[in-house]
Amino acid sequence: MRNPFRSEAEAFSFVIVAALVFLVVALVGAAFGGWWALAAFLVLAVGVGVWMRSEPKVREPAVWSHRPHERRRILVIANETVAGEALRSEIVQRAEDGAEVLVVCPALNSPWRHWASDEDHARDEAHGRLEASLSALAAAGVQARGEIGDADPLQAIEDCCRTFDPDELIISTHPPGRSNWLERGFIEVVRAAYDLPIAHVVVDLEAEAALRAG
Amino acid sequence: MAVDAHAAHPPVANKSSRVDARLLGIYIFIASEVMLFGSFFTAYFFARVVVGPKEYATWPPEPFELPVYLALLNTIILMTSSFTMHWALQSIKRNNRAGLIAGLLLTFLLGSTFLLIQAREYTRLGFSPSDLAFGSTFYGLTGLHGMHVFIGLNLLAYALIRAVRGHYGPAPHDHLGVEIPGIYWHFVDVMWIVVYTTVYVV
* Global model pTM greater than 0.90: no
Q: How much of chain B exceeds pLDDT 90, in percent?
A: 57
- Which residues in chain B are closer than 8 Å to A148, comparing Cβ atoms? 3, 5, 11, 14
pLDDT score for A203: 87
- Closest of B33, B75, B35, B62 to residue B189, by C-alpha: B75
* Domain A73-213 is found in CATH 3.20.20.450: no
Q: Which residue has the higher pLDDT, B113 or A111?
A: B113
Chain A residues with a Cβ under 8 Å from any Cβ in chain B? 3, 5, 7-9, 11-12, 14-15, 18-19, 22, 25-26, 29-30, 34, 37, 107, 114-115, 117, 119-120, 123-124, 127, 130-131, 134-135, 144-152, 155, 158-159
Q: Which of A8, A25, A158 sits opposite B197 (nearest CB)?
A: A25
* Paired residues of B19 in beta bridges: none
Q: Give the Cα separation of A103 and A170 in Å (integer).
A: 9
What domains does chain B contain, in order, with CATH numbers? 67-201 (1.20.120.80)
Confidence of residue B1 (pLDDT cuts 50, 70, 90): very low
* Paired residues of A105 in beta bridges: A148
Contacts of B48 (CB under 8 A, 6+ apart): B56, B59, B137
pLDDT score for B73: 93
Query: Over the Cα atoms of chain B, what is R_g?
Result: 22
pLDDT score for A126: 86
* Mean pLDDT, rounded, for A51-56: 70
pLDDT digits (tens, 9 = 90+) for A68-92: 677 889 999 988 887 788 888 888 8
Confidence of residue A135 (pLDDT cuts 50, 70, 90): confident
Is residue B21 within 8 angstroms of chain A, CB to CB? yes
Asked if B26 and A5 come within 8 Å (Cβ–Cβ), the reply is: yes
Asked if B59 and A34 come within 8 Å (Cβ–Cβ), the reply is: yes
Domain residue spans of chain A: 8-53, 73-213
Confidence of residue B98 (pLDDT cuts 50, 70, 90): very high
3-state secondary structure chain A: CCCCCCCHHHHHHHHHHHHHHHHHHHHHHHHHCHHHHHHHHHHHHHHHHHHHHCCCCCCCCCCCCCCCCCCCEEEEECCHHHHCHHHHHHHHHHCCCCCEEEEEEECCCCHHHHHCCCCHHHHHHHHHHHHHHHHHHHHCCCCEEEEEECCCHHHHHHHHHHHCCCCEEEEEECCCCCCHHHHCCHHHHHHHHCCCCEEEEECCHHHHHHHHHC
pLDDT score for A56: 56
